[in-house]
Structure 1
């Protein structure tokens, strides 16, 4: 599949798959973005995509950023009809305590030094131009046809919603001790 891409800034990075079998390709920040504790920012990629009709681009988090930092990339959809700049929405879920030394972290979670006094805030993150901030996957789209009815069919679950199936494992074999050990 061919996807046309337009650079909106001269040094925007054309996406690439890290490995031949990867489903997702990296999206790279096109500018430095500072995200304070509790704040949300849209990180520009400097790219516009022409997604083929019948497909969408899904924006997803990178696992390393999620594991090592308080930054959370929000899931996003780029529809085939949108040809503007793709941005990545990032939340900083950290809270800033009142009485601690103020430091800035990069997207790997490492503390960094800064000469700019505005950056010295505890749990503030800086995404630097060139950082791989998210990944994207291009997937086919299937649209539903909606039919209004007076009643829905029966199911085993019915209207049971959040937590209706419980939180424990329904499979006791998952809790067996390894062979040769007995439970106390």
Structure 2
């Protein structure tokens, strides 16, 4: 059984563009809130751009925000985030910007002002302490990496991983 709902995380927000809509969930229960662009842009095939969202946030310590792609843009237009997910640390106070790329090989993609371009998910994150050891304890997976579990017809290939 899952634990009950947690109290909402209070996040301070500042509009860097006065008339930008505040981020909001499209549907009840959505994990993310929509981010929009404040500037029109056109991305040719293979082109990328850094688009402003018109907002800056102050997250409490112990939280981070993650900028995720919108599945509809990916499926319909081939638009992806170059650094998905983008990470907004608790100490960052600048405007959130989104790095989009048009992966469609033939068609340009046009964005108008206030088009939804990404989604923002706020999560609690753990603070960690690293302890250096000479050897790590064993596990069932061990050092199995890329493709170690198979599950796809094309997994007969071996991966050339730099440094291995």
TM-score by structure 1 length? 0.72
CA contact (8 A) 2:68 2:119 kept: yes
**What's 2:102 paired with?**
92
Q: Compare CA radii of gyration and give the structure with the larger one.
A: 1
**What's 2:149 paired with?**
165
Q: Which moved more, 1:158-167 or 1:75-84?
A: 158-167
**What's 2:161 paired with?**
none
**Structure 2 stretches lacking a partner, 5+ long:** 1-8, 154-164
The match for 1:24 among 13, 21, 32 is 32
After superposition, the CA RMSD in angstroms is 1.6
Q: Matched residues in 1 for 2:10 and 2:142: separation?
A: 43
Cα distance, 1:166 vs. partner?
2.1
How many residues are treated as equivalent by the alignment? 143
**Structure 1 stretches lacking a partner, 5+ long:** 97-122, 170-184
Question: Match of 2:129, SS?
Answer: coil
**What's 1:179 paired with?**
none
CA deviations over 1:72-91 (Å, ceiling 9, x no partner): 12311101100100011111
The match for 2:66 among 51, 58, 70 is 58
Structure 1 position 141 matched with structure 2 position 125: yes
**What's 1:126 paired with?**
110
CA deviations over 1:36-95 (Å, ceiling 9, x no partner): 211211111011111112111111111111111111123111011001000111111123
Cα distance, 1:143 vs. partner?
2.0
CA contact (8 A) 2:62 2:127 kept: no
